[in-house]
């Protein structure tokens, strides 16, 4: 625990399993990861929200995926990622892209705040697969539902050990 009762993250990047995470000792390429705090909300500037929506709509009917970075629950950048699975009902980020983005986030002295993906035909809530693959603790999992493409729904969730806590998404002008 850290001051104020906030938990420090053990990792900022998802590993394929918990054993790999432990093997790497909570580091990426031997470099300790910057811990992030459990969030009460995730603040996304309208311009970044627009980039996320453009990506999600362009990728449809396939699932889109990406990473949001920033500081103190305030998003500063959206990294569009490739869905290596090219699927309508699941995604897998390309590992080489993930590592490149994590290095860029660290170089900018930011933190991974959220992992984003779309649900082209289902509601903005974690699926059973999302729960099973939520291996990165203390990041928000942002899900964009395109069930009604003209009015996408964006929701955020903390997921750890299949326990889901909704995190409010707050749009900001900045």
2 in any annotated domain? no
Beta carbons within 8 Å of 74's beta carbon, 6+ residues apart: 43, 172
Q: Is 65 helix (H, G, I), strand (E, B) or coil?
A: strand
- Residue 134 covered by a domain: yes
Domain that holds residue 161: 7-172
CA–CA dist 95, 83 (Å, integer): 10
pLDDT of the residue at 158: 94
Would residue 111 count as lying in a domain?
yes
pLDDT at residue 162 in the model: 84
For residues 63 and 129, the answer to whether their CB atoms sit within 8 Å is no
- The predicted model scores a pTM of 0.78
Q: What pLDDT shows up at residue 67?
A: 98
Tell me, what's the pLDDT at 121? 94
Domain CATH number, residue 95: 3.40.140.10
* Residue 1 within a domain: no
Structural domain count, the chain = 1
Q: Are residues 128 and 155 in contact, defined by beta-carbon separation less than 8 angstroms?
A: no
Q: What does the pLDDT read at residue 174?
A: 72
Mean pLDDT per 10-residue section of the chain, whose length is 174 residues = 36 35 40 47 97 97 97 96 94 95 97 97 94 90 95 94 92 89
In a domain, 97, yes or no: yes
**How far out from the chain centre does Cα 71 lie?**
14
* Whole-number pLDDT of residue 38: 54
Q: Does residue 73 fall inside a structural domain? A: yes
């Amino acid at each position: 625990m850290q001051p104020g009762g906030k938990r420090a993250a053990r990792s900022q990047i998802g590993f394929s399993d918990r054993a790999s995470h432990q093997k790497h000792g909570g580091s990426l390429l031997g470099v300790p990861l910057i811990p992030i705090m459990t969030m009460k909300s995730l603040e996304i500037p309208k311009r970044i929200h627009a980039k996320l929506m453009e990506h999600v709509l362009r990728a449809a009917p396939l699932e889109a995926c990406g990473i949001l970075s920033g500081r103190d629950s305030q998003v500063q950048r959206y990294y569009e990622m490739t869905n290596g699975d090219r699927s309508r009902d699941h995604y897998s980020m390309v590992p080489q892209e993930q590592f490149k983005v994590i290095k860029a986030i660290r170089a900018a002295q930011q933190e991974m705040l959220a992992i984003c993906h779309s649900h082209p035909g289902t509601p903005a809530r974690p699926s059973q697969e999302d729960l099973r693959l939520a291996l990165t603790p203390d990041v928000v999992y942002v899900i964009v539902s395109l069930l009604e493409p003209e009015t996408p729904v964006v929701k955020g969730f903390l997921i750890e050990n299949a326990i889901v806590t909704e995190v409010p998404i707050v749009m900001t002008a900045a």
